Amino acid sequence: MMKKLLIGLFALSVNVLPAMAAGPSVPLMEAGNDISDQPSLQRGAKLFMNYCLGCHQMQYQRYERTFRDIGIPTEIGQEQLIFDGSKVGSHINNAMKKEDAAKWFGAAPPDLTNVARVRGSDWIYTYLKSFYKDESRPFGVNNTLFPSVGMPHVLQELQGVPTAITEEVTVDGKTTTHITGTETDGTGELSVDEYDQAVRDLTNFLEYVGEPTRLESEALGIKVLGFLVILFILAFMLKKEYWRDVH
Protein backbone atom coordinates (compact mmCIF):
# COMPACT_ATOMS: atom_id res chain seq x y z
CA MET A 1 0.00 0.00 0.00
CA MET A 2 2.82 2.40 0.91
CA LYS A 3 4.59 1.59 -2.35
CA LYS A 4 1.42 2.37 -4.34
CA LEU A 5 0.98 5.64 -2.45
CA LEU A 6 4.55 6.74 -3.16
CA ILE A 7 4.18 5.85 -6.84
CA GLY A 8 0.92 7.79 -6.98
CA LEU A 9 2.46 10.87 -5.35
CA PHE A 10 5.37 10.74 -7.80
CA ALA A 11 3.03 10.43 -10.77
CA LEU A 12 0.93 13.33 -9.48
CA SER A 13 4.03 15.48 -9.07
CA VAL A 14 5.14 14.68 -12.65
CA ASN A 15 1.74 15.60 -14.12
CA VAL A 16 0.76 18.43 -11.81
CA LEU A 17 3.72 20.28 -10.34
CA PRO A 18 5.26 21.39 -13.67
CA ALA A 19 1.91 22.91 -14.63
CA MET A 20 1.80 24.73 -11.31
CA ALA A 21 5.23 26.19 -11.85
CA ALA A 22 4.37 27.28 -15.38
CA GLY A 23 0.96 28.71 -14.54
CA PRO A 24 0.14 32.41 -14.58
CA SER A 25 -0.02 34.61 -11.54
CA VAL A 26 -3.78 34.57 -11.02
CA PRO A 27 -5.16 35.60 -7.62
CA LEU A 28 -6.74 32.60 -5.94
CA MET A 29 -10.29 32.76 -4.59
CA GLU A 30 -10.86 31.61 -1.04
CA ALA A 31 -12.70 28.30 -0.92
CA GLY A 32 -13.69 28.63 2.74
CA ASN A 33 -13.97 24.88 3.24
CA ASP A 34 -15.17 23.03 6.32
CA ILE A 35 -14.55 19.28 6.17
CA SER A 36 -16.69 18.79 9.27
CA ASP A 37 -19.74 19.85 7.19
CA GLN A 38 -21.09 16.42 6.25
CA PRO A 39 -23.98 17.64 4.03
CA SER A 40 -21.42 19.58 1.97
CA LEU A 41 -19.16 16.52 1.73
CA GLN A 42 -22.11 14.37 0.65
CA ARG A 43 -23.04 16.82 -2.12
CA GLY A 44 -19.39 17.01 -3.15
CA ALA A 45 -19.14 13.21 -3.32
CA LYS A 46 -22.22 13.09 -5.53
CA LEU A 47 -20.72 15.70 -7.87
CA PHE A 48 -17.41 13.85 -8.05
CA MET A 49 -18.97 10.47 -8.78
CA ASN A 50 -21.25 11.94 -11.48
CA TYR A 51 -18.94 14.41 -13.20
CA CYS A 52 -15.31 13.59 -12.38
CA LEU A 53 -14.88 9.85 -11.86
CA GLY A 54 -15.23 9.08 -15.56
CA CYS A 55 -11.71 10.50 -16.07
CA HIS A 56 -10.16 10.99 -12.62
CA GLN A 57 -9.62 8.18 -10.15
CA MET A 58 -9.12 8.17 -6.39
CA GLN A 59 -7.17 4.93 -6.28
CA TYR A 60 -6.02 5.38 -2.68
CA GLN A 61 -9.51 5.99 -1.27
CA ARG A 62 -12.16 3.31 -0.71
CA TYR A 63 -15.89 3.72 -1.19
CA GLU A 64 -16.68 2.18 2.19
CA ARG A 65 -14.32 4.50 4.10
CA THR A 66 -15.73 7.49 2.25
CA PHE A 67 -19.35 6.61 2.96
CA ARG A 68 -18.60 6.00 6.65
CA ASP A 69 -16.65 9.23 7.13
CA ILE A 70 -19.16 11.55 5.44
CA GLY A 71 -22.30 9.97 6.91
CA ILE A 72 -23.75 8.08 3.92
CA PRO A 73 -25.36 4.72 4.77
CA THR A 74 -23.50 1.94 2.98
CA GLU A 75 -26.62 0.67 1.20
CA ILE A 76 -27.50 4.12 -0.14
CA GLY A 77 -23.94 4.83 -1.20
CA GLN A 78 -23.66 1.50 -2.99
CA GLU A 79 -26.95 2.05 -4.77
CA GLN A 80 -26.57 5.71 -5.75
CA LEU A 81 -22.83 6.42 -5.94
CA ILE A 82 -21.23 3.24 -7.29
CA PHE A 83 -22.03 3.02 -11.00
CA ASP A 84 -19.72 0.25 -12.24
CA GLY A 85 -20.73 -2.61 -9.98
CA SER A 86 -17.63 -2.30 -7.78
CA LYS A 87 -17.79 -3.73 -4.29
CA VAL A 88 -18.23 -1.22 -1.50
CA GLY A 89 -14.78 -2.13 -0.16
CA SER A 90 -13.09 -1.33 -3.49
CA HIS A 91 -10.89 1.66 -4.24
CA ILE A 92 -12.51 4.46 -6.23
CA ASN A 93 -11.24 3.61 -9.72
CA ASN A 94 -12.62 4.00 -13.21
CA ALA A 95 -12.37 1.87 -16.34
CA MET A 96 -10.48 4.36 -18.51
CA LYS A 97 -7.17 3.06 -19.85
CA LYS A 98 -4.21 5.42 -19.48
CA GLU A 99 -3.23 4.88 -23.11
CA ASP A 100 -6.68 5.93 -24.32
CA ALA A 101 -6.79 8.90 -21.92
CA ALA A 102 -3.41 10.14 -23.16
CA LYS A 103 -4.65 9.87 -26.75
CA TRP A 104 -7.87 11.78 -26.03
CA PHE A 105 -6.60 14.47 -23.68
CA GLY A 106 -2.90 14.73 -24.51
CA ALA A 107 -2.01 13.32 -21.06
CA ALA A 108 -3.67 10.86 -18.73
CA PRO A 109 -5.88 12.72 -16.19
CA PRO A 110 -4.11 12.63 -12.79
CA ASP A 111 -5.38 10.72 -9.80
CA LEU A 112 -7.18 13.17 -7.49
CA THR A 113 -6.72 11.46 -4.13
CA ASN A 114 -4.04 13.91 -3.06
CA VAL A 115 -4.71 16.85 -5.36
CA ALA A 116 -5.90 19.11 -2.53
CA ARG A 117 -2.71 18.44 -0.57
CA VAL A 118 -0.55 19.19 -3.62
CA ARG A 119 -2.34 22.22 -5.01
CA GLY A 120 -4.44 23.49 -2.11
CA SER A 121 -8.20 23.95 -1.85
CA ASP A 122 -8.16 27.57 -3.01
CA TRP A 123 -6.42 26.52 -6.23
CA ILE A 124 -9.03 23.83 -6.96
CA TYR A 125 -11.91 26.21 -6.20
CA THR A 126 -10.45 28.93 -8.42
CA TYR A 127 -9.69 26.46 -11.23
CA LEU A 128 -13.26 25.15 -11.33
CA LYS A 129 -14.59 28.72 -11.57
CA SER A 130 -12.10 29.86 -14.23
CA PHE A 131 -13.22 28.04 -17.38
CA TYR A 132 -14.31 30.15 -20.35
CA LYS A 133 -15.38 29.56 -23.93
CA ASP A 134 -12.48 29.33 -26.39
CA GLU A 135 -13.24 27.83 -29.79
CA SER A 136 -9.53 27.48 -30.57
CA ARG A 137 -9.15 24.74 -27.95
CA PRO A 138 -9.94 21.05 -28.69
CA PHE A 139 -12.81 20.96 -26.16
CA GLY A 140 -13.95 24.52 -26.84
CA VAL A 141 -12.87 25.89 -23.45
CA ASN A 142 -9.81 27.35 -21.78
CA ASN A 143 -8.96 28.29 -18.21
CA THR A 144 -7.54 31.54 -16.85
CA LEU A 145 -5.71 29.73 -14.04
CA PHE A 146 -4.47 26.85 -16.19
CA PRO A 147 -4.01 28.16 -19.78
CA SER A 148 -4.26 25.63 -22.62
CA VAL A 149 -5.96 23.19 -20.30
CA GLY A 150 -6.61 19.76 -21.83
CA MET A 151 -9.73 19.11 -19.77
CA PRO A 152 -13.30 19.86 -20.91
CA HIS A 153 -15.52 21.94 -18.67
CA VAL A 154 -17.44 19.00 -17.23
CA LEU A 155 -19.62 21.22 -15.02
CA GLN A 156 -20.79 23.41 -17.91
CA GLU A 157 -24.33 22.03 -17.85
CA LEU A 158 -24.55 23.23 -14.25
CA GLN A 159 -22.88 26.61 -14.75
CA GLY A 160 -23.91 27.47 -18.29
CA VAL A 161 -21.54 28.67 -21.00
CA PRO A 162 -18.88 30.89 -19.39
CA THR A 163 -17.23 33.66 -21.39
CA ALA A 164 -14.14 35.68 -20.63
CA ILE A 165 -14.31 39.26 -19.35
CA THR A 166 -11.46 41.19 -20.95
CA GLU A 167 -9.87 44.62 -20.73
CA GLU A 168 -7.26 46.32 -22.89
CA VAL A 169 -4.08 47.52 -21.21
CA THR A 170 -1.61 49.87 -22.91
CA VAL A 171 2.02 49.76 -21.78
CA ASP A 172 4.76 51.66 -23.64
CA GLY A 173 2.45 52.23 -26.57
CA LYS A 174 1.57 48.54 -26.89
CA THR A 175 -2.01 47.47 -26.26
CA THR A 176 -2.68 43.97 -24.99
CA THR A 177 -5.88 42.25 -23.97
CA HIS A 178 -6.06 40.72 -20.50
CA ILE A 179 -8.71 38.42 -19.10
CA THR A 180 -9.96 39.75 -15.80
CA GLY A 181 -12.63 37.17 -15.03
CA THR A 182 -15.48 35.11 -16.46
CA GLU A 183 -19.25 35.33 -16.62
CA THR A 184 -21.94 32.82 -17.51
CA ASP A 185 -24.74 33.16 -20.04
CA GLY A 186 -27.33 31.88 -17.55
CA THR A 187 -28.18 28.68 -19.45
CA GLY A 188 -26.94 26.38 -16.69
CA GLU A 189 -29.08 24.26 -14.40
CA LEU A 190 -27.85 26.23 -11.38
CA SER A 191 -27.88 29.91 -10.54
CA VAL A 192 -24.58 31.71 -9.96
CA ASP A 193 -24.85 31.27 -6.19
CA GLU A 194 -25.90 27.62 -6.51
CA TYR A 195 -22.99 26.86 -8.83
CA ASP A 196 -20.61 28.61 -6.45
CA GLN A 197 -21.88 26.39 -3.62
CA ALA A 198 -21.56 23.28 -5.80
CA VAL A 199 -17.92 24.10 -6.53
CA ARG A 200 -17.29 24.67 -2.81
CA ASP A 201 -18.87 21.29 -2.04
CA LEU A 202 -16.73 19.50 -4.63
CA THR A 203 -13.59 21.27 -3.36
CA ASN A 204 -14.54 20.38 0.20
CA PHE A 205 -14.85 16.72 -0.74
CA LEU A 206 -11.46 16.72 -2.47
CA GLU A 207 -9.90 18.31 0.62
CA TYR A 208 -11.41 15.61 2.84
CA VAL A 209 -10.13 12.82 0.56
CA GLY A 210 -6.61 14.26 0.69
CA GLU A 211 -6.51 13.68 4.45
CA PRO A 212 -9.46 11.57 5.66
CA THR A 213 -8.12 11.28 9.21
CA ARG A 214 -7.61 15.00 9.76
CA LEU A 215 -10.61 15.55 12.02
CA GLU A 216 -9.70 12.48 14.05
CA SER A 217 -6.08 13.66 14.27
CA GLU A 218 -7.11 17.13 15.42
CA ALA A 219 -9.45 15.69 18.08
CA LEU A 220 -6.72 13.32 19.26
CA GLY A 221 -4.20 16.17 19.28
CA ILE A 222 -6.39 18.20 21.65
CA LYS A 223 -6.66 15.20 23.98
CA VAL A 224 -2.89 14.66 23.89
CA LEU A 225 -2.21 18.33 24.67
CA GLY A 226 -4.68 18.14 27.56
CA PHE A 227 -2.94 15.03 28.88
CA LEU A 228 0.47 16.73 28.64
CA VAL A 229 -0.81 19.77 30.55
CA ILE A 230 -2.14 17.56 33.34
CA LEU A 231 1.09 15.52 33.35
CA PHE A 232 3.15 18.71 33.58
CA ILE A 233 1.11 19.93 36.56
CA LEU A 234 1.49 16.58 38.34
CA ALA A 235 5.21 16.45 37.58
CA PHE A 236 5.68 20.02 38.85
CA MET A 237 3.80 19.28 42.06
CA LEU A 238 5.83 16.08 42.53
CA LYS A 239 9.06 17.98 42.00
CA LYS A 240 8.05 20.53 44.63
CA GLU A 241 7.20 17.71 47.05
CA TYR A 242 10.57 16.00 46.52
CA TRP A 243 12.57 19.21 46.90
CA ARG A 244 10.53 20.75 49.74
CA ASP A 245 12.81 19.53 52.55
CA VAL A 246 16.01 20.31 50.64
CA HIS A 247 15.42 24.04 50.82
153 is in an annotated binding site: no
SS3 of the chain: CHHHHHHHHHHHHHHHHHHHHHCCCCCCCCCCCCCCCHHHHHHHHHHHHHHHCCCCCEEEEEHHHHHHHHCCCHHHHHHHCCCCCCCCCCEECCCCCHHHHHHHHCCCCCCCCCHHHHHCHHHHHHHHCCEEECCCCCCCEEECCCCCCCCCCCCHHHHCCEEEEEEEEEECCEEEEEEEEEEECCCCCCCHHHHHHHHHHHHHHHHHHHCCCHHHHHHHHHHHHHHHHHHHHHHHHHHHHHHCCCC
55 is in an annotated binding site: yes
- Binding-site residues for heme c, in ranges, read 52, 55-56
- Binding-site residues, in ranges, read 52, 55-56
